[in-house]
Structure 1
Amino acid sequence: MTDTAEHIATEPELPKQDKLQRALFRFRQSRLSMLGAVMVALVVFFTAFGTLLAPFPEHIAGGVDTAARFQPPSWAHPFGTNELGQDVLSLVMAGTTVSVLAGLSVVLIGTVIGTLVGAIAGFAGGWIDEILMRLTDLTLTIPGLILAMAVAAALGPGFTNMIIAISLSWWPGYARLVRGEVLAVREESYVNAARAIGASPSRILLRHILPNTVSPIIVKMSLDMGFAILMVAGLGFIGIGIRPPTPEWGTLLSVSRSYMPDYWWTAMAPGMAMFFAVFGFNLLGDGLRDILDPKARR
């Protein structure tokens, strides 16, 4: 009797394990997806430890060495030095923490707001859906960068203000995505069964509907990380985001453009770091879409 009960208890876990193994197998079969995972892992590593591992931490804190200004790449300074004699490699490593954390914050805030709006609109329907979706459409009519620039200019420069400014233009895409997923799921048989046994609307939404919309949200978040990093760098580049002496890829590019092309290394390092991060997140997002999107499964 005990063996039978244990067999029944463990039986539902097998399909989940098999599904996970199949997903990992499909992911490993794609070389580009694996490359993206490795690149993102490196970005995450330097986000966590870049400031600690920087060879010249005093330069990150604002220290200068005018005697070593504009030195070309060498063993002592692999990416050369800038106009203040600061080690460009140290600044780029510290800038990884700022840029990636800012992009992650934007994506998380946009996801939370968009998921909340889209879930309520899709589940409630009627006039609530109309109001929330018209608000979403109104936000979508304004280019994201223009809206972020306007809000950032009104709030003033700074890390927090920049994240708020970009997040206000980031949530509509998630609202549209989640609303569509909720509309497709809310009439499923298990949702009707939950209604029949008297489950509250909030329980149905949180326990039965939203968990089935997680996969497309994760895919969109992974793809959006690269665009969020570019948006953060764009605001820093035009001077209304994070400002020096805080190292950030966009501000480093903004300062170095005045010294191009003679001192090209000052712009090459932050530009290549940005390209590496964005390319890695895009490859990882494509891989996650292949394993999480039901239409891509065979």
Structure 2
Amino acid sequence: MSETAQTSEVEIPRPADDRLRRALFRFRQSKLSMLGAAVVAIVLFFTAFGTILAPYPEHVAGAVDTANRFQPPSLTHPFGTNELGQDVLSLVMAGATVSVLAGFGVVLIGTLIGTLVGAVAGFVGGWTDEGLMRLTDLTLTIPSLILAMAIAAALGPGFTNMVIAISLSWWPGYARLVRGEVLAAREEVYVTAARAIGANPSRILFRHILPNVVSPIIVKMSLDMGFAILTVAGLGFIGIGVRPPTPEWGTLLSLSRSYMPDYWWTAMAPGMAMFFAVFGFNLLGDGLRDILDPKARR
């Protein structure tokens, strides 16, 4: 009898596994979500291995070949060469590492800061909530790109300074989102039960409330990745981001604008790379929203 009971216990699917299977089924049913996941997978592949797989790694390192400058697309150079004779395809592949990693760093740091501020404000309430939200509102009144430009100009060019500058203008959206979720979650029964058994406030917030409000945060992070990549490219385009010879999509666009439209291929490759990256992350974010939205569950 014990063996029968053990077998029946094993065969019963756990609720978490069942929810995961249903979520993956809904995701697979959306062709656009699958397309977004495929595009993001390709972008992440080149982020990890683009520099290694570049056909002309010496061009990525800064070498020039002036004898082959402004060569049109061909089998030797599928996206042509730039004003220094460098292979544009190699620069774009290596630039994926800088652009996507910078975007990921911006989203991650902005999420951590915004989640902490919003969680404390929503859970504590009172003057703490008022003070933190007025600081958030003050930051929101300044356009994020303008604020990032000002901070980046003060810190100086460079990858790290660029990520910090954009992150300091990125967190208010997460603070607002998390505050609203925490305000609703702190009235739930499980929070009341945790208080009743004597759990301290920090444990209630970080062990009970935040794990239950992580779904909208993940969705916002996936949707923000595309905009973060565009912001990184924007700073590089105006010259206060990553400086040459480090390849970055915005910097490559900035250098190629002087040669448009005669040598159009120098701008086409980095522009299309940004388009596909943003397109893929947006489609993936929409798919994750459909999965993680409680109202969409059946």
| TM bracket (short chain) | over 0.9
Amino acid across the alignment from 1:56: Y
Q: Corresponding residue for 2:174?
A: 174
Q: What residue in structure 1 maps to residue 134 of structure 2?
A: 134
The one-character-per-residue Cα deviations of 1:117-149 (angstroms, maximum 9, x if unpaired) are 000001101110010001000000000000000
| d(CA) in 2 for partners of 1:117, 1:3 | 52
Q: One-letter code of the match for 1:253?
A: L
**Residue in 2 aligned with 1:279?**
279
Q: Where in structure 1 are there 5+ consecutive unaligned residues?
A: none
Whether 1:59 aligns to 2:86 is: no
AA at the equivalent of 2:214: V
CA distance in 1, matches of 2:124, 2:256: 51
One-letter amino acid of the counterpart of residue 112, structure 2? V
Q: Which runs of 5+ in 2 are unaligned?
A: none
Whether 2:42 is the aligned partner of 1:42: answer yes
Counterpart CA distance in 1 for 2:21 and 2:69 is 53
The amino acid that maps onto 2:52 is L
1:19 counterpart = 2:19 = yes
In the comparison of the two structures, how many residue pairs are matched?
Answer: 298
Residues 6 and 182 from structure 1, CA distance in 2 versus in 1: closer, same or farther, beyond 3 angstroms? farther
Q: Aligned residue for 1:257?
A: 257
Structure 2 Cα separation of the partners of residues 8 and 124 of structure 1: 46
Distance (whole Å) between structure 1 residues aligned to residue 217 and residue 2 of structure 2: 41
Please name the residue that 1:186 is paired with: 186
CA distance in 2, matches of 1:4, 1:124: 51
Secondary structure at 2:47's aligned position in 1? helix
Structure 1 counterpart of 2:231: 231
Q: CA deviation at 1:285?
A: 0.2
How many angstroms apart in 2 are the aligned matches of 1:296 and 1:91? 42
Aligned residue for 1:74?
74
**Matched residue type, 1:160:** T
For 1:79-100, what per-residue CA distance to the aligned partner results, in whole angstroms no more than 9, with x for missing partners? 0000000000000000000000
* Distance in 2, Cα, partners of 1:185 & 1:5: 38
TM value normalised by structure 1: 0.97
Percent identity, aligned pairs only?
Answer: 85
Q: Secondary structure at the match of 1:76?
A: coil
Q: Deviations over 1:134-167 (max 9, x none)?
A: 1000000000000000001111111011111100
Letter in 1 for 2:291: I
